[in-house]
Structure 1
């Protein structure tokens, strides 16, 4: 039955995409997140649907999309450099046969992140990509949330529809991703236009937020708990009524904590006692090995170079009578469990620098947009909150990346691509609506000195027509247009 549903859905999406080629791009996002070929038993599992939609997205853009305002930002250039670096290190990898398996999906994630911003030239398209990301992720989190409420959770035992515990179906990864999407879900519940605004849309969004919060409890991943705490702090900054927000969070915590399973509470307590936790001690040993390895191999060892590590693990814990016991263990081939050390070990110093530049630049750009448009009302009221939500999602993911190796996980590069497309859209269209006397040419002034729009500026085939410039002059006071912020990066 599952196969039939997935096949009918993919066929329906393909038919719609033949009329609206941008849906091939959205379809690839769905496939990248949900991996329906892993959920199917027969037909879909034998068809390379990911590659088919990947190619169809590029062909649809090449044949049908508007290319008048095609632009390449600095972050796309950095993504190209990272892609080239990953290709070089894969070719020279210490474990080539293992590295080529990871390269098979890494190059598609980076190429798609470079390509996606070129298609996001309207608000509708930006929103549609976010909707596909939210709804696609909900196919995993809703199932996990329901099973958690039914008592089916546990570390490494929560069944998320697949037996292969990898990608977004791995407990720590899905915990970080589920929490990082909550700010974007809350933004859509208030400002989204793809679905009619109303109580049903808000109810679904709030229910989805609850399901996402259930994921760290069901997986019992400590990464999820840290991400929840960080998300609460970030949303406090954005809250208009902070005391009310604090009261709601405190009341929810008082109600929820006694209802948590004892196994979850016991596992979370190991965060404080990391010295006696084998997992935490092993990670520290891996990170130390990575630093020593890169000193001798500054360009890294390629994907999965962690297979070469041989570790000496020092642990200590106290017995019931207060005696401290020191234990020394040995292990090898342990994963990095940290995205920053993952990039350092696999791509060397240059790789980790590029990684940090790509993400920090996006966070800074979203902060500039958030500040510049935070007083805007009316049709531009959605701009600043979306910048804040993208920034919060990005920061939460980067915090989660401190505990699990997801440096090149495709999901974060979808967020990076949306940030780039959104940044370019704001600079080209939101700022263009504001009256600016320095842009007025002599031949475009009326006899009374007012600004006249140039019809050629609005001759495009965007899916969403942009409003014309106001002929009434500048808006002064607190609602005045923000100052230009420079070229988008």
Structure 2
């Protein structure tokens, strides 16, 4: 039944795309985030829906879209270089079989992120892509939020559509994506045009924000709690009544405390110290190994190079004595191998070396800078249809910052959802640069001044030339 419902929905969307080919781009965004091929049992896994929508999206743009307004930005070039570099490291990987398996989805994520800005030539398209991304994440978040409220959460507990702890369905990844979606959701409550921000839209949006905030609790992902703290810190930048905001947030947290399970407190207590937690201790050991590895392999070891790690460390284990009043600490030697990076920074460093890490950091740093420029350039404008640009740039910037902080503790350097956010930043940057009326005036004024200067120079040269002698 699930297979038939999903197949009928996607088939109807694909049919609509024959009339509006851009719908195929939205269809691929939906499929790539939700992964409906992993939700069914018969039809969906057999039809390769991701490949079909991927080819349709590119073919629809290539055959029907106007190319005059498409611009190739610097960040797209950076992703292109990173794509080629990843292809080279995959061919020289330490573990070719595992590297090729990861390459199969990484190249599609990077290629689509390079391609997507070419289709973002209008505000409607930018908003449509963002809306599909948010609503697709909402489908996962709402379901998981209901399960959390009704049945409680738990680390690595099956709260999602698929029983697969990978991609966006990995608990820490979903918690990060859910929190970084909140600034975009808030933007839709004020500036959305596809669904006018009336009371129904705002009620749904605020309920969705509540569900997003439940994800760190339902999944018991420590990274999610850190992302919430980052979100609150960023909100302080724009909120007008900061004291009221702080008091309201504190009151909401106090009301929620009795409903949070004890297991959540126990897991969150390991944030402040990693020595007593084997998961956190392993991460530190992997990061140390990665730094030593790139000293001998500065260009990285290709995808999944972490499989070659092996290390031994001492972890303190607390044991309560028989009297029940004292606790003794015993250091136990732990040997581990083949442990993942658990950090996007070290993921890039170990797999792609220093060149790959530089490209990745440049890509995101440039995005933060461009969104800040758009925010300042459009902030305070009062003209018609000039109030949505700065808030959207701010929302995309905040979403990226939350992701970057969350990625410090997860290996999500190539997360497709985030690469789509990067692509939308590129599209917004190119679109506003092309349609900004003030920049158009400045370009026209500069062109007029240049032409006037050239005319004055020509007149000066003509006046300086000696007159020809009169004919006798």
TM-score w.r.t. the length of structure 2 is 0.91
Count of residue pairs the alignment pairs up:
443
2:139 corresponds to 1:142: no
Residues 65-124 of structure 1: CA distance to partner in whole angstroms, max 9, x if unpaired?
111122111111110110011001111111101110100000000000000001101110
* CA shift for structure 1 position 433: 7.6
| 8 Å contact kept, 1:89–1:301 | yes
Would you say the 8 A contact 2:175–2:221 is kept in 1?
A: yes
- Which of the pair has more CA radius of gyration? 2
Match of 2:423 in 1: 417
Q: CA deviation at 1:427?
A: 0.9
Alignment of 1:59-98 (within 5 A): 59-98=59-98
Matched-pair contact (CA < 8 Å) for 2:126–2:424: yes
The 3 A distance-change label for structure 1 pair 440 and 92 is closer
1:340 pairs with 2:361: no
Q: Which consecutive residues of structure 1, in runs of 5 or more, have no partner in the other structure?
A: 443-489
What SS is found at the alignment partner of 1:344?
helix
Deviates more, 1:239-248 or 1:306-315: 239-248
Question: What are structure 2's unaligned runs of at least 5 residues?
Answer: 321-325, 450-472
Aligned 8 A contact 1:310 1:330 in 2: yes
Aligned-residue offset at 1:161:
1.5
| Equivalent position SS for 2:163 | coil
| 8 A Cα contact 1:380 1:430, kept in partner | no
2:381 corresponding residue in structure 1: 376
Whole-Å Cα distance in 1 between the matches of residues 164 and 247 of structure 2?
41
Equivalent residue for 1:185?
185
3-state SS in 2 of match to 1:68: coil
Q: Distance in 2 between matches of 1:188 and 1:350?
A: 38
TM-aligned CA deviation for residue 429 of structure 1: 0.5
Give the equivalent residue in structure 1 for 2:205.
205
Structure 1 residue 240: Cα displacement: 2.6
- C-alpha distance in 2 between matches for 1:440 and 1:103: 47
1:255 is the counterpart of 2:260: no
Structure 2 vs 1, CA of residues 35 and 374 (structure 1 numbering), >3 Å: closer, same or farther? same
Name the SS for the 1:276 alignment partner.
Answer: coil
Counterpart of 1:270 in 2: which secondary structure? Answer: coil
Other-structure match for 2:354: 349
Q: Deviation at 1:368?
A: 1.2
Shift in Å, 1:15: 1.2
- SS state at 2:341 partner: coil
Note the 1:392-411 alignment, pairs <5 A. 392-411=398-417
Query: Matches of 1:295 and 1:439 in 2, distance apart?
Result: 51
Give the drift of 1:243.
2.4
SS of the residue 2:336 aligns to: strand
* SS state at 1:150 partner: helix
Find runs of 4+ consecutive structure 1 residues off by over 3 angstroms.
Answer: 317-320, 431-437, 439-442
C-alpha contact 1:95 1:305 (8 A) present in aligned 2: yes
Match in the other structure for 2:323: none
| Greater share of residues in helix | 2
Matched, 1:168 2:168: yes
Q: How does 1:232-381 map to 2 (within 5 A)?
A: 232-317=232-317, 319=319, 321=326, 323-377=328-382, 378-381=384-387
Report the counterpart of residue 153 of structure 1 in structure 2: 153
Task: Write the distance in 2 (CA, Å) between the matches of 1:132 and 1:360.
Answer: 26
Task: Give the match for residue 438 of structure 1.
Answer: 445
The equivalent residue for 1:391 is 397
For the residues of structure 2 that align with 1:293 and 1:150, how far apart are their CA atoms?
46
The SS at the match of 2:333 is strand
Relative to structure 1, is the Cα distance of residues 432 and 27 closer, same or farther in structure 2, using a 3 angstrom cutoff? farther
Is residue 4–residue 43 contact of structure 2 (8 Å, CA) maintained in 1? no
Q: Displacement, 1:432?
A: 5.2
Shift in Å, 1:273: 2.7
Provide, for residues 45-83 of structure 1, a one-character-per-residue CA deviation record: whole Å limited to 9, x for no partner: 101111111111111111111111221111111101100
Deviation at 1:253, TM superposition (A): 1.2
Q: Are the counterparts in 1 of residues 24 and 56 from structure 2 also a CA contact under 8 Å?
A: yes
